């Protein structure tokens, strides 16, 4: 019988594969070479680093991560060793986009400046960046887009260079994958070019921001919103203190986002191992979205976003117990998208 090892914190997964495989659930820090020795598939989240150290003596043929990013998976090693890799790209795009816009609305209280007076620079215009752009425009913001790979494919008409974005925007949000090119993207040169009073938001990966540079330039920034951190879960207290809104890597933690991730992971594994009964599987919570399909009334959208997610409550929890970063994340009470 096929054996699957799965992170125990992937929601709505228990019971799904049991009719077809032996399933072993474990916390991320307990997923080890011994557990994978005779496993065929591995289902993970961001905390499991999949590389030669973990996989060299395993029989794993398929890895799926119930996350958007896959920087925790050594793609070269998997390719060279015939291990298929799947990530749930786009699963939580709406949740992250709504987090960003809720945070921007919260900055009105912090800076005294209405977001309609701001120009938002979006760095990385994939699944999440597109939705952030649509919401920002609908709420009356001017928007600048930076995405070099898309600009190379589609032309530069809709995009600006990073230098132009930093020069013209007074709010910047990062939505890039972690690669050699984006590591420490927000460094000294980045912050030197930002306008005084700018809002800085990072919900991508902690290592995209050079936290030393952020701290060095903190006084010129109007507000700092961080959901991701260097050295998670052992975050630096100085960076936490410098942030105006701080959350424990939960921007994408909505009911719908988690349902989408599990749905995508199950279907991908079912397709790879040819489990017909699960190829159209859908994971569902007993929850309903409020319809905010654009266009809708701008004031209604503002009210819905603010009411749906009291972002300062998550900020208070993290500041009160930063040492429990991982527990706050794993036990997070999922919010409903609007």
Is the backbone peptide bond immediately before 233 cis, with ω within 30 degrees of 0?
A: yes
Quickly count: other Cβ atoms within 10 Å of residue 276's Cβ: 8
Clarify whether 288 is annotated catalytic. Answer: no
User: Any alpha helices (H) in the chain, and if so which ranges?
Assistant: 33-36, 52-55, 75-80, 93-111, 127-138, 148-154, 162-168, 188-193, 211-216, 237-242, 255-273, 298-308, 311-320, 325-330
Clarify whether 47 is annotated catalytic. Answer: no
> Exposed, middle or buried: residue 181 (CB in 10 Å: 0-12, 13-18, 19+)?
exposed
3-state helix, strand and coil shares in percent for the chain, rounded to the nearest 5: 40, 15, 40
Distance in angstroms (rounded) separating the CA atoms of residues 170 and 276: 51
Which member of 205, 217, 267, 335 is catalytic? 205
Which member of 72, 175, 217, 249 is catalytic? 249
Q: Which residues lie below 8 Å from residue 313, measured CB to CB, with a gap of 6+?
A: none
Clarify whether 249 is annotated catalytic. Answer: yes
Which region holds residue 179: left if phi is over 0, alpha if psi is between -120 and 50, else beta?
beta
Distance of CA 59 to the CA centre of its chain: 30
Instruction: Quote the radius of gyration of the chain (alpha carbons, Å).
Output: 20
**Do the Cβ atoms of 121 and 168 come closer than 8 Å?**
yes
Distance in angstroms (rounded) separating the CA atoms of residues 36 and 24: 10
Which member of 8, 22, 108, 232 is catalytic? 232
Backbone angles phi, psi at 171, to 5 degrees: -145, 135
In the β-sheet with 62-65, what is the strand arrangement from edge to edge? 22-26, 3-7, 41-44, 62-65, 84-87
Q: Which residues are catalytic?
A: 205, 232, 249
């Amino acid at each position: 019988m096929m054996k699957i090892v799965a992170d125990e914190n992937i929601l709505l997964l228990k019971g799904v594969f049991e009719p077809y495989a032996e399933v072993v659930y474990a916390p991320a820090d307990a997923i080890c070479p011994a557990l994978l020795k005779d496993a065929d598939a591995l289902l993970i989240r961001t905390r499991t680093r999949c590389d030669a150290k973990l996989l060299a003596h395993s029989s794993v043929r398929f890895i799926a991560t119930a996350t958007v990013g896959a920087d925790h998976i050594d793609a070269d090693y998997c390719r060279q060793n015939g291990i298929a890799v799947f990530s749930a790209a786009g699963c939580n795009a709406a949740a992250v986009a709504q987090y960003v816009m809720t945070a921007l609305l919260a900055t009105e209280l912090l800076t005294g400046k209405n977001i309609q007076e701001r120009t938002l620079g979006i760095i990385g215009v994939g699944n999440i960046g597109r939705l952030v752009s649509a919401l920002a425009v609908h709420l009356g913001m001017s928007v600048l887009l930076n995405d070099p790979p898309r600009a190379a494919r589609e032309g530069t008409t809709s995009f600006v260079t990073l230098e132009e974005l930093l020069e013209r925007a007074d709010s910047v949000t990062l939505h890039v994958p972690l690669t050699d090119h984006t590591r420490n993207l927000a460094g000294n040169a980045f912050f030197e070019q930002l306008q005084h009073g700018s809002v800085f938001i990072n919900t991508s990966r902690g290592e995209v921001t050079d936290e030393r540079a952020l701290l060095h330039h903190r006084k010129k920034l109007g507000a700092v919103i961080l959901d991701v951190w260097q050295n998670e879960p052992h975050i630096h207290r100085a960076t936490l203190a410098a942030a105006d809104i701080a959350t424990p890597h939960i921007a994408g933690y909505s009911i719908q986002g988690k349902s989408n991730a599990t749905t995508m992971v199950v279907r991908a594994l079912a397709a790879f191992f040819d489990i017909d009964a699960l190829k159209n599987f859908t994971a569902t919570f007993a929850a309903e979205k409020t319809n905010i399909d654009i266009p809708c009334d701008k004031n209604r959208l503002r009210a819905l976003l603010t009411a749906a997610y009291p972002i300062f409550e998550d900020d208070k929890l993290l500041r009160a117990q930063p040492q429990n970063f991982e527990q706050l994340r794993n036990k997070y009470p999922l919010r409903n998208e609007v």
